[in-house]
Amino acid sequence: MAVYTEVSDEELSAFIDTYDVGRLLSYKGIAEGVENSNFLVHTDKASFILTLYEKRVNPDDLPYFLNLLQHLAGKGLSCPTPVESRSGALLGTLAGRPAALVTFLEGMWVKRPRADHCAELGKAMAELHLDGADYDGFRKNALDVTGWRPLFQQCEDRSDTVQAGLGAEIERELSHLEAVWPANLPSGVIHADLFPDNVFFLGNELSGLIDFYFACNDAFAYDIAICLNAWCFELDLSFNVTKAKALLKGYSAVRPLGPSEFDALPTLCRGAALRFLLTRLYDWLSVPEGALVTPKDPMEYLKKLRFHQKVETAEAYGLER
């Protein structure tokens, strides 16, 4: 389970009392996620998600995330909404960690996405990009191309313990992407972590997007590249172009892609694969002792990266000009 910080009954009850949300009935840790400690909290009025912010989350970024959720919910996007405390604050402190309470979103994530799920995701992602256009907050993507080398340097000397030659392969790809990374693409607020477990469905209908704690200002097409990596590979890591075409068609129906985004997509997909290879590698080698969490396999994204390295144009992803 992704619980890095344990919380006592007394601490949690006192924290919940600072909100007008009713009396605490029960709570339990949530297994999904590897970045923060998450709990499902039930009161006699409703259910909520409590997050304690850990690891790579900079406390100075939290107002950006929480205010963004308020902004997007106000635009009609289905996402968790931060709950204000009795004093009007969106952020508090629990067990020595910054903490926030957000509304509970109904739905379940799909473990085996179909093409129709990918199409719905594409539409919702495009709506998110448009809804964030007038959000006045700004946060640089801490894990953009400029952040990958510092992250790699933290685990470079141990990378070959995961697979022989891994460090040299990452170094080659990193140097390539640093040299060719596209600039001046259409940009704005992106989610930057729209994996299937962050997208909820009720039946076949998308019910909402969650976990905005990597949200930032970056290229819209980079968000698409992340989703192509996360949604369009099968269990054997073969690429499913039918799913990719559905995702891209759904997105383009709401926000059409421009020529520069079309041309940049193969490079952006390589970059997205490398980004998650690096963060998974770091987590694999750096899980705190005693943490109730199972790190995700970094080698999955090495295999995806190798696929993208062979792609020459966006047509390979099912995108049509």
DSSP per-residue codes, 261-282: HHHHHHHHHHHHHHHHHHHHHH
Backbone phi, psi, residue 114, to 5°: -100, 175
Instruction: Report the pLDDT value the prediction gives residue 1, as an integer from 0 to 100.
Output: 42
Q: What is the pTM of this model?
A: 0.91
| DSSP characters over 70-123 | HHHHHHT-----BPP-TTS-S-EEETTEEEEEEE----B--SS--HHHHHHHHH
Report the candidate in 121, 320, 96, 136 with the shortest Cα–Cα distance to residue 232. Answer: 121
Compute the distance between CA of residue 292 and CA of residue 86 in angstroms, rounded to an integer: 32
Percent of the chain with pLDDT over 70: 95
Tokens representing 297 are 């396999």
Q: Kindly tell me if the per-residue pLDDT of 302 is higher than 50.
A: yes
Yes or no: say if 151 and 282 are a contact pair by the CB < 8 Å rule.
yes
Q: Kindly tell me if the per-residue pLDDT of 291 is higher than 60.
A: no
Q: What is the pLDDT of residues 22-69, one digit of tens each?
A: 999 999 988 665 578 889 999 999 999 999 998 667 889 999 999 999
